[in-house]
Structure 1
Amino acid sequence: MLIIDCDTFFGYRANCPTVVSADTLIQTTRSDGIRYALAYSMKARTYDAQEGNDEVMQAATVHPEIIPVASVDPRTFDRLENEIARVAELGFAAIRVFPESQGWSVDSVLFSRIARACYENDIPLMVAVESPGKASSIAKRTEDTDVKIILLGANYNVLSEVLSTATAKPNLYVSTQLFVTPGAIELAVESIGADRLVLGTGAPEFSSRPAINMVMGAQIKESEKHKILGGNIGTIIGKSLTKLNRTLVESGFEQYAKRSVRGPIIDVHGHLGIWPFPMKVRTADDLVRLMHRRGIEKAILSSTKAIVSDFVEGNAELAREIQAYPELLGYVTINPNYPEQSIKEMDRYLKQEKFVGVKTHPGYSGQSIDSPAMRKLLPVIAEKKVPFLIHCWGHGEPSKVLRIALDFHDIPIIMGHGGVTAWREAIETMKAAPNVYTEFCSSRVERGRVRATIDAVGCERILFGSDLGLFDPIYDLGVYEEADLSTPERQAIMYDNARRLFGIG
């Protein structure tokens, strides 16, 4: 198996307390079975393109695992085309651009200049398309060239646009890094073909295993998996490899297999309902089949409709749907904007054996975790003696959880998503409040987050959550696998902690 990661970096980051060396990059990618890393220098991205590009070429000369990627900043105006020609002649594999962080737009003549220069020098171009409209703008700005462009960061919000654009433009390739929805890989293969998908992970900042897991677990041909994981990008950068006098060599996959986590698993964060994104899971039948493939024995779900729309209708639909499936349990969703009805919903459903917890989503209700409206419902939740799953995302949110956890210490509170970017703040919340638990589902998980949490607070209050129904759980399994869990840690986090917390027999 040959795995090539097309989206990695090394270097100093002004907003981060750790410097990522080339050695660190190689160690982290190698641990996930990645043989080669297309890498750019952070210096080229943030300070001076030529100096940073020279730095990455020097690193590639010392480390054969690194394949150099250059960056350019079009704000320099007169140095743009010359730098692209220079790095192409030196054997760089691609040009990577960063319009958002540098303050320019792909829907501009600057991007057209870059694309034209890349085409004339026969060097691929890489750019992130994480926001709506970017893929379409890129297609419009490159109508007159067939330059190979790799679209990075295609999350589920923009995946439909990205695949539609790539269908119309055969020179576009798509990285699968943020293909998290069930069936996303399969849908992409069906629409644009496996030949135009590549692996990029954002290493070493982000964990590589989730993206690799999604390809490995996809229901596609083995030959198609090989293309996506390394074959396609190897072909795209063939000219660079010749100039660098490099021959790609496959490596053993033992380390990847050694880390794999499989069932039995209890998933404490799932959904049942319709999402407006490309995916192949729509019904309870679909969900249970996916659970069986991923080794998940039980899943605790909230209704998608209850979260984003009508919580009364959603709870009722969930209650009907899960009755036929012993694998499925439910959260009753509450909305602090409707306190009296929320209490009625808890009274109605928490009497039923299939409902084992309460869920709220501040992002959709518009009510802060510790708002007066939310606090009116907390005494009722405490009386019910069930876990309370709260969507907890971003800086300041774990601190809000801490305030209500200290005031209502009888409520077991689960920080859904574990704060995401505020995961260090979430650790401090767990240190201060023994009734707070966490799980880590997210499409962009900073490497080392799970292990750091275990080392700080132990494994007894860490749960497995995957956003099942929105995410394929094999994606988030990769987040936990990256932590190199011991056998006792694995048993506790994947199963025993949830069984004890929710009273699952």
Structure 2
Amino acid sequence: MAIEDGSAIPFDAWRLVGGLEVALDVDVLFGAYPDRDGPPGAPEPVLRLLGEHRIRAAAVAGLRAALFDVRSGNDELIAQAGPEVVPVGAVDLRDPIGASRELDRLAGEGVGAVRLFPDEQGVEAGFPSVRHVARHAARLGLVVLTGGDVRRFWQPFAGLGADVVFLDTHFYHLGDFLVAAADEPGFHTSTRLLNSPDALELAAAELGVGRLLYGSRAPHYEPLVPLLRLATSGLKPEEIAAVAGGNAQRLLRRPQS
């Protein structure tokens, strides 16, 4: 776009976002990946980044627990609990027996959700450990947030009646998620990668808007991208508000502000 003197008008994403705020982001990480470039992920700058993007609270998992030491990493994260941070535990899928014990401990500490890191831990959906952890989490009533290709990672959770949020659902794979979730009322998806022109609208039409949760993957992904897509979607204002935190608050049993 150009104005009369021929100069370009800069794109203003925030004008399109308008007054949209996120009550609860379902996909935030503290910590850093040792094998890739990226932000250090310390709590203060991450929370500052969220605030700059009008994200009031987040379900946060720790990369220390996922990649280095499960117990101390989870304890470090639980200590951060507060109005802005809903702690999400992590387990090591390469150690299914230890993972079960850690799930018991997390549930006893009042943690209501666990995040699985199959890609980072080199674990495939068909491994017995994944099904074992999925079953144990379901028995404990824990909400599971999981990475991985939804075309494969829906399978370990099938038939368990579990509440699961698939964090890496790509719009190329949305059809597979929709047909899998049609038979699994506990299946939900993050909107982070649903950036095609009609992905959010299609998912809402097929499954209901209650299955969609805003996720940013901050600070390792740009929070503005899914925020902009949600704000410019064809969803109704009340549906946008549900995706922007209301659904996550309900799922994680967190009082709405």
Q: Does the alignment reach a TM-score above 0.5?
A: yes
On the 8 A contact 1:38/1:93 being kept in 2, the answer is no
Matches within 5 A, 1:46-445: 46-60=67-81, 63-129=82-148, 131=149, 135-238=150-253, 241=254, 247-249=255-257
SS of corresponding position for 1:147 = coil
Secondary structure, in 3 states, of the residue corresponding to 1:220?
A: coil
Are the counterparts in 2 of residues 153 and 177 from structure 1 also a CA contact under 8 Å? yes
Q: Distance in 2 between matches of 1:168 and 1:136?
A: 14
CA deviation map 1:322-367 (0-9, x unaligned):
xxxxxxxxxxxxxxxxxxxxxxxxxxxxxxxxxxxxxxxxxxxxxx
Matched residue type, 1:236: L
TM-superposition CA deviations, 1:84-124 (whole Å, max 9, x none) = 11112212231111112211112221111111111111111
Q: Secondary structure at the match of 2:60?
A: strand
Distance in 2, matches of 1:17 and 1:143, equals 34
Residues 219, 126 of structure 1: alpha-carbon distance in 2 compared, 3 angstrom cutoff: same
Question: Structure 1 pair 207/2, CA: closer, same or farther in 2 (3 Å)?
Answer: closer
- Measured in 1, the distance between the counterparts of 2:94 and 2:127 equals 12
**Residue 8 (1) aligns with residue 28 (2):** yes
Are 1:36 and 2:57 matched, yes or no? yes
CA distance change for structure 1 residues 121 and 47 in 2, over 3 Å: closer, same or farther?
same
Match of 1:297 in 2: none
Contact 2:32/2:38 (8 A) holds in 1: no
Shift of 1:140: 3.0
Q: Give 5+ residue unaligned stretches, structure 1.
A: 242-246, 250-505
Partners of 1:89 and 1:108 in 2: CA distance:
27
Matched with 1:270 is: none
Cα distance between partner residues in 1 of 2:95 and 2:168: 26
State yes or no: 1:19 paired with 2:40.
yes
Could you say if the C-alpha distance between residues 162 and 85 of structure 1 is closer, same or farther in structure 2, counting changes exceeding 3 Å? same
TM-score, normalised with respect to structure 1: 0.45
Q: Which has the larger radius of gyration?
A: 1
Contact kept, 8 Å, 1:36 with 1:65, in 2: the verdict is: yes
Deviation at 1:141, TM superposition (A): 2.3
State the 1:17 CA deviation. Answer: 6.5
Change (3 A) 1:2 1:32: closer
- Residue 138 of structure 1: how far off its partner (Å): 3.4
Q: Work out whether residues 71 and 95 of structure 1, in 8 Å CA contact, stay in contact via their aligned partners in 2.
A: yes
Tell whether the 8 Å contact from 2:125 to 2:155 is kept in structure 1 after alignment.
Answer: no
> Alpha carbon RMSD of aligned pairs, Å?
1.7
TM-score w.r.t. length of structure 2: 0.86
Following superposition, the deviation at residue 49 of structure 1 comes to: 1.2
Amino acid at match of 1:14: P
The sequence identity of aligned pairs, in percent, is 24
